[in-house]
Amino acid sequence: MTGSESGAGDTPWVLDLEGTGVSALPRVRAWAGKSLGHLSPDHLADVLMVIEELASNAYEHTSGPSCARLTVLARPCVVVIEVDDPEPGRPEVRPPDFERARGRGMLLVDRLADDWGVHEHSGGKTVWARLGCGVPAREACESSR
């Protein structure tokens, strides 16, 4: 598993997940946290939840993600999360079933993201989510620490 060093502007940070299993989820979260350490703690927590849910969904419902990407747009503060997998099929937001221990991932993504969707392509699909950091557009993606 490797990652690129960019992520600022329109150039994403990229994490290769080809051939990994669900045990890679903590590394996905750590990679995203390290890459986005400049975000405010609340914004970072939301981004980490969303990337973990998108990757987890790919592990559970497909043969696994092939890569994850993070792109930061500083003004207005937006983080774009993308997870690629090799299979068609769109994730669904389902009503919570309190009899089941799982199955709320896309509901969480839907609630935390400003917008999310799926781009289908010849190699499978990309599930993406956009999260604004909730600050006025004139402020950059930086914590107030």
Residue-wise pLDDT tens digits, 36-57: 988 889 999 999 999 999 999 9
CA angle 9, 14, 20 (to 5 degrees): 160
Domain boundaries, the chain: 13-93+102-132
Whether residue 7 has pLDDT greater than 90: no
Picking from 4-8, 43-47, 94-98, 101-105, which range would have the lowest pLDDT averaged per residue?
4-8
What is the fold of 13-93+102-132?
A: Heat Shock Protein 90 (3.30.565)
The mean predicted confidence, pLDDT, of the chain is 85
Q: Is the peptide bond before 76 cis (omega within 30 degrees of 0)?
A: yes
Buried/exposed code over 127-138 (b: 16+ C-beta within 10 A; e: otherwise): bbbbbbbeeeee
Whether residue 145 has pLDDT greater than 50: no
Residue-wise pLDDT tens digits, 52-88: 999 999 999 999 999 999 999 877 789 999 999 999 8
- Model confidence band, residue 141 (pLDDT cutoffs 50, 70, 90): low
